[in-house]
Amino acid sequence: MDSQIRKIHQQLVNKEITCTQLVQDKLDLLAKNSHNTVNSLLIDIALKLAAKVDDKIGNGEDIGLLEGIPFGIKDVYMVQGTITTASSKLLKDYKSAYTATAIQKLLDAGAIPIVKENCDSFGHGSSSENTIFGAVKNAINPELVGGGSSGGSAVNVALDYTVFSIGGDTGGSVRQPAGYNHVYGLKPTYGRISRYGLMAYASSTDCVGPIAKSVEDIRIVLNVMSGKDGKDQTTYSSTEILEESLSTSEGIKAIGYFKNFIESDAIDAQVKSDFLSGIEKIKAKGIEVKVLDFFESNTLVSTYYTLAMAETASNLSRLDGTNYGNRIEAENLKETYAVTRSENFSEETKRRIVGGNQVLSQGFSDEIYLKSLALRDAIANNFEEDFKAVDIIISPVTPSAPPKIGDSLKDPLAMYLSDAYTVGFSLGQLPTLTVPQGTETGLQITASKNNDELVLKFANFLKDTL
């Protein structure tokens, strides 16, 4: 699909549509939607900004490419003056005091936020069912989950309720729902986009990620949000990715895939067959394909969840009803903390906090937490060796199709294992893009650190190949 951003920009410039009507139409679609994608609509902000864009066009002024483009925001980002719930009971009335850097950059470019989107509470989940706003329904088949944790964001893009949405990816939270709903979803290199104002889940792997219907729209949004931020010491300066640089696959000589992903007992026969068929089409284009060795899926999942739970236990320790959230009074301060957290956190969030505190506790941290840190280093070293042999690694996004709504809640372990193909790239802090081709839930394209441009370039190549 061609760029929706460029198409709408031209329609606005040509006065074929007004920005106010465009935004109102999207708001109406979101208000009527039955997929549970909306936590709150930003009606006043959106219409006020749209009127300003119409005034500029009416006065004959030029507008920027993103100016007047409606977009959605996963409800874990601060936007000053709006309610930011993280889809949780604890923060259901919490009003943001400031705006996240990534969102501010989009606002500065003229894009118009129209909705805070449903997600797994605090990003804890792989199905967008762990939320007080109702399970997000898949855009293709509403009996299935929307995917998580950025499920509302992916479904809104797939159904054209938003032109693009901003999700958050920790262990696959953008890539997996993008695959489930047949759209593009990017986890950029860790640190390329500031995390300031993104509610922290696991700080060492949290990434801001755009979801859209074309590679070009991903490129445009990525460029705007990228860059060093004094409020996030993990960020770095990056160069703009130019449109013309994505027009050719020159420079991509060899790609690889992990043998143990494809030979796993967990992968569906159809996903495996479609993936290998895609490999043959890539070979036919003259690109060498190499088979790579990697860690077993169980090792990746256990390493990721050990570290992620430890970090979330630390990050959520501040949410005790004193400074943030819905406080429930009890007989004394200690009881107040306990009741506030017990009553307001979901079962999945409590499971992760308890698990995190366990691996960090005296007597266990050496055996579990420190061992996981060593494994993360080994995984990163494995990637460094792989990228000496290949330019790109491709893999299915998930080993199987999205489950029915309700199934993931009955079996948390199965939900964790659905992340088996995404978490490794998060631990490596690598740029990875879901494309809606190749298998039922798409393919992941991964390059070495800071090679986000190569990922987008190969996505364009696949668009014309598969």
Residues marked active site are found at: 74, 149, 173
Question: Which residues have C-beta within 8 Å of that of residue 115, sequence separation ≥ 6?
Answer: 27, 30, 37, 38, 39, 40, 41, 42, 72, 73, 156, 161, 162
Q: Is the peptide bond before 149 cis (omega within 30 degrees of 0)?
A: yes
Eight-class DSSP state of 241: P
Find the helix or strand (DSSP H, E) in which 71 lies: strand 70-74
Neighbours of 51 (CB within 10 A): 14
- Which residue from 203, 220, 204, 211 is spatially nearest to 187, judged by alpha carbons? 211
Residue count of the chain: 466
Please give the Cα distance from 189 to 314 (Å, whole number).
Answer: 24
> C-alpha angle with apex 105: 102 to 108, nearest 5 degrees?
155
DSSP letters for 408-439: HHH-HHHHHHTTTTTHHHHHTT--EEEES-SS
In angstroms, the Cα distances linking 415 to 129, 176, 399, 406 are: 11, 12, 12, 11
What is the identity of the amino acid at 127?
S
* Beta-strand runs (E) in 170-253: 184-187, 207-212
Which residues share a beta bridge with 393? Answer: 256, 446
Please answer whether residues 117 and 36 qualify as being in contact, where contact means their C-beta atoms are separated by less than 8 angstroms: no
Q: Which two tokens stand for residue 462?
A: 């696949």
How far is the first Cα of the chain from the last one, in angstroms, to the nearest whole number? 14
DSSP letters for 129-163: -SSTT-PPBPSS-TTBB--SSSHHHHHHHHTTSSS
- What is the CB-side half-sphere exposure of residue 344 using CA atoms within 13 A? 26
Please answer whether residues 24 and 47 qualify as being in contact, where contact means their C-beta atoms are separated by less than 8 angstroms: yes
Q: Which two tokens stand for residue 132?
A: 């007080």
